[in-house]
Amino acid sequence: MTHRYDQLWLNANLFTIDCNSAATVMPDACLAVTGDRITLICPMRQLSAAPEQLAASVHDARGGWVTPGLIDCHTHVVYAGDRSMEYRQRLQGKSYAAIAEQGGGIQATVRATRQASEEQLLRASIPRVRAMLAQGVTTLEIKSGYGLDLAAERKILRVARQLAEVLPVRVVTTFLGAHVTPPAYRTTPEAYVDLLCQEMLPQLAEERLVDAVDVFCDDIAFSIAQTERIFQTAKALSLPIKCHAEQLSHQGAASLAARYHALSCDHLEYARQADVTAMAQQHCVAVLLPGAYYFLQAGQKPPLALLRQYRVPMALATDCNPGTSPTTSLLLMTHLAQHLWGMSTDEVLLGVTRHAASALGMADSIGSLQEGHIADFVIWQIEHLAQLSYYFGYIPPHQTIKGGVPQQEASHEQSQ
């Protein structure tokens, strides 16, 4: 007997979007998968025949909730070394500058990452990515930026690609050679930008290790002029761009990035109205990073009211990194954004699904439950979607399905 669908999930409440990309819910619904695609979404009462006649394999979601697979669209998860001792020093009152002067800070991570073999770097990264997947993440962006020379940046990007081979996760790589200027170029930063534009980026793009290009534009990182040079190189290589923009001070980087049709501008604490309108015009996503805001005790909040007013899509991500956001929990980020910034449940859920997909240029294939999309979704045995951002610890998915393939089911029911 041939079936119309490979798999069918019954009795689910689906987190979907309407024709305006606003969050909505389809209660008491079913979802079918054929191959790696979602091929049917409809209310249970509209099923055209008995489930067993329609699908080779039938699952009962037992009234659980289904969201798209979560998307962590901004991470630095591939790194070596540990900086927890620095955190302790900071708590004891030592300044970040003093720690950096003693060889700590980002340069400590660069040293450790350069020293690690590819194998060691992969082994260090796997547990962090596993922790992300355990919360329902199915797609992950990974930035380089702790290598700062060709060989070490290549190593990070190769490990990012390998993670997608050894774990059930879709990985999008971003070249962030312009994270900070390496110590050897401290007095000649332009020479590093030359190296980056003329050798590192073209070579790594040639090796197909780069899906997008990012620049950290700030007083402590790269100037507007340097940022623009790197954007021009990315454009010449037909690579989409992203930008660490307006995090610690206002530089005008978000407006610049929008002019270059950036997929996203990230952080944005110091973004102004002109930046937000430029982003709105170019459909640029605002990737907000509450983990870094919290860990740095930043004080300055991103301009939520302006972003809402001009309808800039807001995504949320962990920014997982050892210096400013040591977390792997995307659900914790939804809680922080809600609790610290007043984002709504719908906003934070769209932020880790639909809008996170847009920040990666993938909204036509992942990030929402739609027929024709890749079958990445998560089943949660919860009473209501609001529970996902209510807990600020671990809330386990009942099951994650990636590309139509069910991953291991949770071994026990969630206790409350």
- Listed residue (387, 400, 301) closest to 341, CA to CA: 301
User: Residues binding Zn ion: what is the number (CB under 5 A)?
Assistant: 1
Minimal distance, residue 383 CB to Zn ion, in Å: 34
Minimal distance, residue 76 CB to Zn ion, in Å: 6
Minimal distance, residue 80 CB to Zn ion, in Å: 17
Longest Cα–Cα distance in the chain: 72
The region of 49-57, 58-66, 227-235, 317-325 touching Zn ion under the rule CB under 5 A is 317-325
Q: Which residues of 388-404 are buried (b: 16+ CB within 10 A; e: fewer)?
A: bbbeeeebbbbbbbbbb
Q: Is 376 in the site for Zn ion (CB under 5 A)?
A: no
The region of 22-30, 190-198, 319-327, 354-362 touching Zn ion under the rule CB under 5 A is 319-327
Phi, psi of 6 (to 5 degrees): -75, -45
Q: Which is nearer to Zn ion, 211 or 319 (CB)?
A: 319
Q: Which is nearer to Zn ion, 79 or 380 (CB)?
A: 79
- Residue 314 tokens read as 């807001």
Minimal distance, residue 245 CB to Zn ion, in Å: 11
Q: Which is nearer to Zn ion, 228 or 319 (CB)?
A: 319
How many degrees, rounded to 5, is the angle at CA 239 between CA 244 and CA 259?
55
Residues 276-315 that bind Zn ion (CB under 5 A): none
How far lies 217's CA from each of 72, 251, 362, in Å?
22, 7, 25
Burial status of residue 121 (CB atoms within 10 A of its CB: 0-12, 13-18, 19 or more): buried
Minimal distance, residue 47 CB to Zn ion, in Å: 45
Minimal distance, residue 330 CB to Zn ion, in Å: 14
Q: Which is nearer to Zn ion, 249 or 309 (CB)?
A: 249
Q: Is 319 in the site for Zn ion (CB under 5 A)?
A: yes
Q: Which is nearer to Zn ion, 214 or 376 (CB)?
A: 214
Number of Cβ within 10 Å of residue 107's Cβ equals 15
Q: Is 141 in the site for Zn ion (CB under 5 A)?
A: no
* Helix (H) and strand (E) counts in the chain: 17, 16
Q: Which residues form the interface with Zn ion (CB under 5 A)?
A: 319
